[in-house]
Each structure stands twice: as structure tokens, then as C-alpha cells.
Structure 1
Amino acid sequence: MVEGKRVAVVVPAFDEELLVADTIAGIPDFVDTVVIVDDRSRDATADRAAATGDPRVEVIRHEANRGVGAAIVTGYARCLELGIDVTCVMAGDNQMDPGELESLVAPVARGQVDYAKANRLVTGEAWDLIPHSRYLGNAVLSLLTKIASGYWHVADSQAGYTALSLGALRRLDLDRLYRRYGFPNDMLVHLNVQNARVRDVPSRPVYGVGERSGIRIHRVAPRIAWLLFKGFWWRMLQKYVIRDFHPLVFFYALGGLMTLVGLILGLIVAISRIFFGNEITTATVVLVALLLVSGTQFVLFAMWFDQEANKDLR
């Protein structure tokens, strides 16, 4: 327990027979329950977890591989049944420092925030320890997640080391959460609709412990970007139209439309000039410039309105 609150750790695991026992062994004593969710591993992950003999451990096996997000949702559902006050998520590959768990749990247990997540990018070690391709991909996705989720103060969106309050867990629609690698990003979008308070907690990147990453940035990043695009408009509809009203939706819609039309018209004019030698009139140039400048300004104003609307969720 922490601050008199029961704490559980959900460990999604897929083919982690080499490291899952070390992960369990490192989980601090203040954790009351450890839920290992074996996502239909092809090795002995579930058996190795059960063989640790830790009385806190409960192993749940998926009959089919559903994805890391689905494994976390299964763990969340189990902790919801148990009425756990603070539910944390740690990967099964021993890449998350268990010594940092209390710093994630404490603000949630005290009721200061609803969701605490690790941020590996604020330390000076991140660029040196994280593979550069993953670091840059993470930075781009973090920027997109800020826009999509409305949590402008949050970075390192791909960090899966988190702590969630029971109240926030009860308000989430677990069936709507994304089931695969974009889960942390989608989670933030759904939490924002619930007006959950979120805090980043500095974390030390851990690499070179024998982990095997199944993430391929060139494949995963486009899917997550598309997920965030859909999540952004879903959040606009849910938060600023259905549950309440804010004029920023008009700024985003008009700004996006004007920018898109300006880009298309500018491209058509450029092609017409380059390939067909057609003259470009002053009126056409002014129209394209007006659309692009006005559209960009509208979008920037919408971002500022969104940031102001969410400033109390820190």
C-alpha cells in the first residue's frame, strides 16, 4: 500500500520468458497485486511468471494474441474487479526501473492527479541511451499526441510506465481503447475527454538489459498518426460539442479547411504554370496566400484555446 491505498501492477507480456521473472522480482513490496497478462506467448512466459512463487502474482492467459493494448485492458478490467485504488503498468521486459514506481504511485494515491506517466525525454540521458530512430519517432508522435489529446504539458507519449486512479479507471470505456502499440496515445485522448488530471514524472531510460523490441518505427508510426488523427476529431466532438460547447471547434474546422483548400489550389496553380506555361494572375496568388495565412492563424488560435481549456488538468 501507499498512503493507505492498494496498489496493483499490470504486466503485459509477449514472449518474455527471459525477463519476466526479473521484472516480477524487482516490483517493490508496497505493491499488493501483480497481474501478468500473457498475450498468447509462443514461449514459456506464463510458466516462468507463475514459477516465481510470488504470492502477489496472478497470471491471465489470452487464448489469442490481441496486442499490448488488449493485454493492458485485460489487466485493467481485473484490477477494476478487485477494486484496486492505484493500477500501474510495467512492461514485462525489465526496461522500467522499479525504483521509480513509488514516484508514479504517490501523486495518484494522494489524489493530486488521476494519471501519472513516465517521461524519459526530460533527462539528459535520453539522446545517448535511446536508439536515435526511436527517439526522433517518439518526439514526433509526442507532438502529435499533444495536439490530439489536449495534454499540452505531457511529453514522451510512448512511455508505458503509468499509474491510474480507480476513479479514472471506472470512468473509462475500456472497450473503446486501442488494442495495439498506440495504446498510450489513445489512452491520453480518452482521459482528456474525462477531464482527468495528468502528470509527467521524470524517468531514466533503461536499455541493454536483454530486451527484444517488436516495434518497427516505419510501420508503427503511420498507424499511430492515423489513430491520433481520428482520436483528435473524436475528442473535439465528445468534449467540445456533445458534453459541452467551445468555439474552438469552428476555428479548427475552418482553419483546417482553408489550409487544405489553399494547399490544393496552390498545387494546381504551380502545376499549371510549370507544366503548361499558364500565367498566374495576381488575384490567384492573393487568394492562395490569404487561404494559407488565414487557415494557419485559425488553427494556431484553436490550439491556444485548447491549451487554455485544459490548463487545469496538470
Structure 2
Amino acid sequence: MTKLIIQIPCLNEAATLPATLAALPRRVAGVDVVEFLVIDDGSDDGTAQVARQWGVHHVVSHRRNRGLAAAFRSGVDRALAEGADIIVNTDGDGQYEGGDIEALVTPILRGQADIVIGDRGVSDNAHFSPIKRLMQRVGSGVVQHLAGTTVADAVSGFRAISRDAAQRINITTEFSYTTDMLIQAGRKRMAIATVPVRTHAAARPSRLFKSVPRFVMQTGITMARSFTAYKPLRAFVGTGSLIAFVGMIPIVRFLWFWSQGDGGGHVQSLVIGGALLVLGTLVAIMGMVADLVAANRKLMEENLVRTRKLEDMVAALHHQHAAQSGTQASPRRKDAA
């Protein structure tokens, strides 16, 4: 039996959530069970109550606002605990077309992809401003390079994830999970596919960031952290080599004047060059240490995946035992975090 859970991270979405839920599919070809999950990220407008009134199967409530990345993590953890084989993430403001969810999950059902990203057609999307289109293209290009993928819309939040991929992805950023997930997935050699999806005009300004410069800065930090975590040698040794190369320039300059008998007046070049050379060497050594840390992290992630799979086996045995004994497992309580 294949279970699909559609999760919706929400922050004060009581007004728009009913329309979003109404547009979600109740049946999807190739899927036996479709359930909804709302993550209330510290809303103060009764979002969680609205979700329950509309029959949402699972509600996770954060006592205070913790951000989009934390809400996404909470949703994935709950969906896995509820036995989801596929997890679809969408927004609570109705930006995405619920009817496109079947297209999102089809590559996973066919065994063609681990993660499927909804491509909003950024270059000609009428709902995006010229500045937003440019930002999306540049950002997606950088993510493609860092992750080694060909995803054209890297920051699209409309995406489907297989159970195995969800167990292997560990979101570490506090800002937005979109680029972090793709860089991890690319470096872990997961199969990533894209499908075109439809969008609607934004019902309100984005709550993810307050200004374009802040969004660019936070996204850049997220991408740099993710890439450094998975390619420390390339990041640190490359940077250290560049610093050392720059340091060699004043050293060569000093040696030239020294060979002409005029080295005494150019000692400062030797000092600056030597300092840069030492700094570059230290940065390269940091890369080697970081690479050892990254290798240890990979082992820890593999152990985490094994632990999650063991939990799946235990849960399956529990349900099997409950079915054989004629009892029903007690329903899960609504989480609060």
C-alpha cells in the first residue's frame, strides 16, 4: 500500500488555508492513501484550529515561530512517522496548483526519481517580477553548479520526496530548506527530476524574507555552508591555494629587486607575501581537517539512515502484531514543539 502525505508549512494562514486544502487532490493515480499534514509554525490566528476543522489528518504545532526550515523538518519527521512513502511539500497561500501533485509524484512512483522539483517556469512566469526572475535564474545557476544537478528552479518549494530520500536528507539551515536539500541530494547522488507546474498570483507578500538583499545574503550563506560541508577540500584548499598564489606575487617582486641589489627597500613585500603564504597554508590545512570531519559526518548519516529503517521495521512488526491480536494501535497525539 502506497501512502502519500501532502504537508503544508503554515504561518498565519487561517484565511488562505481552506482554499489551499480544497484544491488538494483526494485521489492520486498509483497511490492508495492520500493524507494531509499541516505544520503550524507558531501562528496566532488559529491556523491549527482551521486545519482540524477542515479534516486535516495530522497537525504539528510549534509553540513559537521557528522558521520555514524547522517547519519543513518537523513535517518530514511526522510524515515519516505516519508511514508516508511519498511526501509532497506545498505552500499554504495557494501559490501552487494542487492538481499538479499527481505530476510531481509520478516519477517517484515509476522509480525514476528520488526527488521531484516543480518547475515554475521562472523565465516567463507572469506572476514574477523582472528582479525576481533574475534572482531565481542566478540562484538556480549557482545551485546547479554546487550540487551538480540540472534543476532550473532550485528554490521552488513545490516538491515531492520519496521515503528513502527523506530519510537520507538532513536539513541543517535555519533559513530555507530548498537549496540545502538540493545540494545535499546532488552530492549524495540522488536522482532528481523536474516537472513543469502552474502557479497563482501571490495572495500576500512573502513571509520568508523582509527584503531582497536579506534574502540574497541568507540564501548565499546557506549555499556556502552546504557546499563547504560536503566539499571541504575543494572549498578550503582552493581558497588557500588562491591566497598562497596572491602571496607569491609580492615575494617574487621582492626577489626581483633583491637580485638587482635593491632588496632593502622592499622588505615590506616579503613580509606581506610571507603572511599571505602562511595564511593560505593554514586555510588548506583547515580543509584537510574539515574533510576528516565530513567523512565522520557521512558515517553518522549512514547510521542515522539505518536507525530510521530499523524504526520502520519495528513499526511494521508492531502493526502486524496488533492486526494478528485483533487490536488497533493507539492513534498518535497531535504534536506540539
User: Considering the TM-score relative to the shorter chain, is it more than 0.5?
Assistant: yes
Do 2:116 and 2:193's aligned partners in 1 also have CA atoms closer than 8 Å? yes
2:157 alignment partner, SS class: coil
C-alpha spacing 1:259/1:117, structure 2 compared with 1 (3 Å)? farther
| Residue 132 of structure 2 corresponds to residue 138 of structure 1 | no
Instruction: Give the superposition deviation at 1:57.
Output: 2.7
Q: Counterpart of 1:167? A: 164
AA matched with 2:181: M
Do 2:86 and 2:163's aligned partners in 1 also have CA atoms closer than 8 Å? yes
**Alignment counterpart, residue 206 of structure 2, candidates 213, 220, 229:** 213
**Alignment counterpart, residue 45 of structure 2, candidates 15, 31, 43:** 43
Q: Counterpart of 1:105? A: 105
AA matched with 1:146: Q
C-alpha spacing 1:73/1:261, structure 2 compared with 1 (3 Å)? same
Instruction: Give the superposition deviation at 1:158.
Output: 1.2
CA distance in 2, matches of 1:78, 1:86: 12
Q: Percent same amino acid among aligned pairs? A: 25
C-alpha spacing 1:49/1:260, structure 2 compared with 1 (3 Å)? farther
Q: Counterpart of 1:13? A: 10
AA matched with 1:47: Q
C-alpha spacing 1:82/1:140, structure 2 compared with 1 (3 Å)? same
AA matched with 1:26: A
Do 2:6 and 2:88's aligned partners in 1 also have CA atoms closer than 8 Å? yes
Q: Counterpart of 1:258? A: 242
Consecutive unaligned residues in structure 2, runs of 5 or more: 28-32, 254-337
1:49 alignment partner, SS class: helix
Cα RMSD for the two superposed structures: 2.7
AA matched with 1:40: G
Q: 1:1-314, aligned counterparts within 5 Å?
A: 5-30=2-27, 32-52=34-54, 54=55, 56-121=56-121, 125-126=124-125, 128-151=126-149, 153-173=150-170, 176-180=171-175, 182-208=176-202, 210-214=203-207, 215=209, 216-237=211-232, 249=234, 253-254=237-238, 257-258=241-242, 261=245
Instruction: Give the superposition deviation at 1:169.
Output: 1.3
Instruction: Give the superposition deviation at 1:145.
Output: 1.1
> What does the per-residue CA deviation read over 1:142-192, in whole Å, with 9 as the maximum and x for residues that have no partner?
1221122221x112111000000011112223xx43232x31000111212
AA matched with 1:179: E
1:32 alignment partner, SS class: strand
Instruction: Give the superposition deviation at 1:131.
Output: 1.9
C-alpha spacing 1:118/1:259, structure 2 compared with 1 (3 Å)? farther
CA distance in 2, matches of 1:47, 1:33: 17
> What does the per-residue CA deviation read over 1:174-230, in whole Å, with 9 as the maximum and x for residues that have no partner?
xx43232x310001112123221001111223214x233123221111111122112
AA matched with 1:67: G
CA distance in 1, matches of 2:133, 2:199: 11
CA distance in 2, matches of 1:230, 1:201: 28
C-alpha spacing 1:51/1:194, structure 2 compared with 1 (3 Å)? same
Do 1:144 and 1:225's aligned partners in 2 also have CA atoms closer than 8 Å? no
AA matched with 1:28: P
C-alpha spacing 1:17/1:193, structure 2 compared with 1 (3 Å)? same
CA distance in 1, matches of 2:71, 2:164: 20
When structure 1 is superposed on structure 2, of 186-195 and 102-111 the one drifting more is 186-195
Q: Bigger radius of gyration, 1 or 2?
A: 2
TM-score (norm 1): 0.71
Do 2:148 and 2:187's aligned partners in 1 also have CA atoms closer than 8 Å? no
Do 1:85 and 1:109's aligned partners in 2 also have CA atoms closer than 8 Å? no
CA distance in 2, matches of 1:69, 1:38: 13
Do 2:169 and 2:181's aligned partners in 1 also have CA atoms closer than 8 Å? no
Instruction: Give the superposition deviation at 1:255.
Output: 7.8
